[in-house]
Structure 1
Amino acid sequence: MMHMQNSGVMGRFYVIADWVYKFSFANIIWMVCNIPIIFILVNLLLADEIAVILVLFGMMLLLSPFMFFPSTVALFAIVNQFIQKEDVKLLSDFWGYYRRNYKKSMKIGVIFTIFWTVLIIDFFYMMRLGNVIMQYVFIVLGFFAFVYNLHVCSGAIYIDAKMRDLFKQVAVIMFGHPILSMSLGLISLTFLYLITQWLTFLLPLFLGSILVFLALLVFMKIHPSSLKLEKH
């Protein structure tokens, strides 16, 4: 009886340890792929001259479609394999998905990078003008865009469609399930706040992988019914 109890406890411990290992290793691979962007971001946060900030910000934006988005979509694919309980060879599977879907991920990155650039510039412009109402408008728009961004990255591994159709289907999914989508946004932002402000030691291990996990759980719940809704 005691042996069975120990076996059960050890079994649960092994499962937890295995998930911690997979999530942390996947996150490390993702961060390694983004070392240049991380380096620029750190310097951007430390910069105090406008000219330096603009140069670093521009460099980060230029690199994002070619590094951040392909690696992030690959991370979505790997974490999805975790959820599906598939056998995963972390490094080779990550690299394989990264390489095979680089062009598609890069296109997604270009679209979102342009959008976020315009949004951020407009926000700071309104801040400079002192237009508080428009600042809040852009904050709300940014929140919706953040959720949409997460859904698109999830959809990139579930929906086999051209870019326009992918974005259209994801819009149907998001606005067809506003409560779940907005809940994802709030939970994700709460997680980002906690890990960047209070649990910074976990940043290299779980920043991306846990956020991706949350996004996929929501997307898997709403995706099938949303496609049925679209067909009707």
Structure 2
Amino acid sequence: MNGLMKGFYGFTEWVTRLAYVNFLWVFFTLTGLVLFGFFPATVAMFAVVRKWVRKETDVPVFTLFWKTYKADFLKSNLLGLIISFAGFVLYFNFTVIEAAVVPAFKWLYIPYVMITVIYILTLLYIFPVFVHFNMKIKEVVKNAFILMAVSPLVTCSMVVLTGALCFLFLQFPGVIPFFSGSLIAILLMFLSNNLLQKISVAEG
């Protein structure tokens, strides 16, 4: 009975943690008028769940969230600008290829699909790398790409499990305001943690 109660307490504690950091993520995203708040809030959320994944569960959540949000506000927004611009360029080129009447242009479709897939897969590692290392943005993107390329099993796990979470969110939309960001963040951070630790050891 004590084991059952301990398990129930642990479960409710994690539910509360995830809901709380998700609330902070939504609140600070809106505080930054979404456009300027999304990336700093996302970085701050990943900074918090990184501590949890590393078993540092006693960290003061709001203090760490707010400190990271302020410290990385400009850097994370610059990263967001780069990510958004790259995504816009890919989308724009797709529309051009789709609308092209010259048959030769259609041959570009497959390479662009491959580039888009690489772009999306690299994004899965962007925030874990950002919060784990103190790097310039160029290095963050480069290391996220390298991790994606050299860790196909982890990358596939990220895709499958993130897709499964998104499917569940669509089936139960009532949980989206409470867990949508935090669950995905802790999943990606958990899966990438060992890879990031190995890089840290190698560099150390």
TM-score, shorter chain, exceeding 0.5 = yes
Counterpart of 1:34? 29
State the percentage of identical aligned residues. Answer: 23
| Correspondence 1:106-121 to 2 at 5 A | 106-121=77-92
Within 2, Cα distance between the matches of 1:113 and 1:22?
30
Residues 77-132 of structure 1 deviation map (CA, whole Å, 9 limit, x = unaligned): 01112222321332232111111122221221111011111122222333344887
Quick check: 1:71 aligned with 2:54?
no
Q: Higher mean Cα deviation, 28-37 or 12-21?
A: 28-37
Give the Cα–Cα distance (whole angstroms) in 1 for the partners of residues 115 and 146 of structure 2: 17
Shift of 1:188: 1.3
Provide the aligned C-alpha RMSD in A: 2.6
Structure 2: gaps (5+ residues): none
Structure 1 unaligned regions, length at least 5: 1-5, 39-59
| Aligned residue identity for 1:147 | L
- TM-score, length-normalised on structure 2? 0.84
In 1, distance between residues paired with 2:107 and 2:21?
Answer: 41
Q: Does 1:81 align with 2:54?
A: no
Q: How many residues matched?
A: 199
Distance 1:136 1:212, change over 3 A: farther
* TM-score normalised by length of structure 1: 0.75
**How far 1:158 sits from its partner (Å)?**
1.0
Q: 1:33 to 1:220 in 2, by over 3 A?
A: same
AA in 1 matched with 2:12: A
Aligned with 1:82: secondary structure? helix
Alignment deviations for residues 35-67 of structure 1 (CA, whole Å, 9 cap, x no partner): 3899xxxxxxxxxxxxxxxxxxxxx7xx2xx22
| Counterpart residue number, 2:190 | 217
Residue of structure 2 aligned with 1:25, choices 20, 23, 26: 20
1:49 is matched with: none
Which residue of the other structure, out of 169, 174, 180, is the alignment partner of 2:143? 169
1:123–1:138 Cα contact (<8 Å) kept: yes
Q: Is the 8 A contact 1:176 1:226 kept in 2?
A: no
